[in-house]
Amino acid sequence: MSFVQPPPHPIQLQEVGMRDGLQSAGQFVNTDDKVRIINQLSGLGFAKIEVTSFVSPTAVPLLADAEAVLAQIDRAHNVDYVALVPNRRGLERALATDLDEINVVMSVSEAHNLANLRMTRKQSFEQFGSIMADAGHLRVNATLATAFGCPFNGATEVKEVMDWVQRYLDRGVSSITIADTIGVATPNQVYELCARLRALAPALEITLHLHNTRGLGVANAYAAIAAGIHRFDASLGGIGGCPYAPGATGNICSEDLAHALLRDGFSCPIDLAGLINTTKALEAILGQRFPGLVKESGPRETTHPLADAPNQ
């Protein structure tokens, strides 16, 4: 018997590196290069691609070309294109582009919400209701950040997460993301929370957004699968991390997670070789070495020629 039984449905990966990764890349990636990488990602089997953010260009100048990127990418019919919307002004900008979904973020932690969004949780939730009412044709996904821990206040109580999820359900949301923003979750914690969420709302589309800060990203994903979750955010090369969470490092790595799932017999429609090549292309653009491992070692099937045996 397998450690984690493969579910009857595919595991869907959602690529967030072009937003979550590039927002803290340290240097601007020009629009043509962003478009080229997104077009490559569009053919690799991702369910969703978070393309950009409509945050203020003054606050995040590395994503100041959001409208230009969305105007130029080639859209695949089987991919949902997503952008983060931080406020009403961001919604206005999003509505003027060709998008499928917007992602609206709030922290379970009051301290982190104030640091990240300059608002209380109550203000964020009220704003979410306003955005949802005026989103028109756009699907709205609600993300709850710091769902396992806050960099300022420590551990997050499961009950607090469940209470906020219920508030969003009462608001009518059909899609929610649970984020381990600072990478403190362990497999047992992930299993407990995800099992409770699945029991609370069996029909709710739940995504887990994991970070690999303490090396447990893939293990936490397996725990979530065992609890009935089959959607995961991931970032090519493992790049990214919240700029308002001290000590937080990159997201779970797309190719590392895909490699584990594919080699363990899960249905996961990702072109691993193409993903590794795309990650290396973005590494070359940024002149950086990303933290992902499989792109360095190669897939499990990789072999090397045997060196000549030494003379006896």
- Distance, CA of 44 to CA of 275 (rounded, Å): 7
3, pLDDT greater than 90:
no
- Give a yes or no: residue 3 inside a domain: no
Q: Which domain holds residue 285?
A: 12-293
As for how many domains the chain has, the answer is 1
**156-174 in b/e burial notation, b at 16+ Cβ within 10 A?**
beeeebeebbebbeeeebe
- pLDDT on residue 310: 65
- Give a yes or no: residue 277 inside a domain: yes
Domain CATH number, residue 37: 3.20.20.70
- pLDDT on residue 240: 85
The contacts of residue 270 (CB under 8 Å, 6+ apart) are 13, 44, 45, 46, 254, 258, 261, 262
The terminus-to-terminus CA distance of the chain in angstroms comes to: 45
- Interval 215-236 mean pLDDT: 97
- Interval 189-215 mean pLDDT: 96
Catalytic residues: 242
Mean pLDDT of the chain: 94
Q: How confident is the model at residue 9 (pLDDT cuts 50, 70, 90)?
A: confident
244, pLDDT greater than 60:
no
- Distance, CA of 281 to CA of 272 (rounded, Å): 14
- Give a yes or no: residue 299 inside a domain: no
22, pLDDT greater than 90:
yes
- Give a yes or no: residue 96 inside a domain: yes
- Give a yes or no: residue 235 inside a domain: yes
267, pLDDT greater than 80:
yes
- Give a yes or no: residue 182 inside a domain: yes
- Give a yes or no: residue 310 inside a domain: no
- Give a yes or no: residue 311 inside a domain: no
What global pTM score does this model have? 0.94
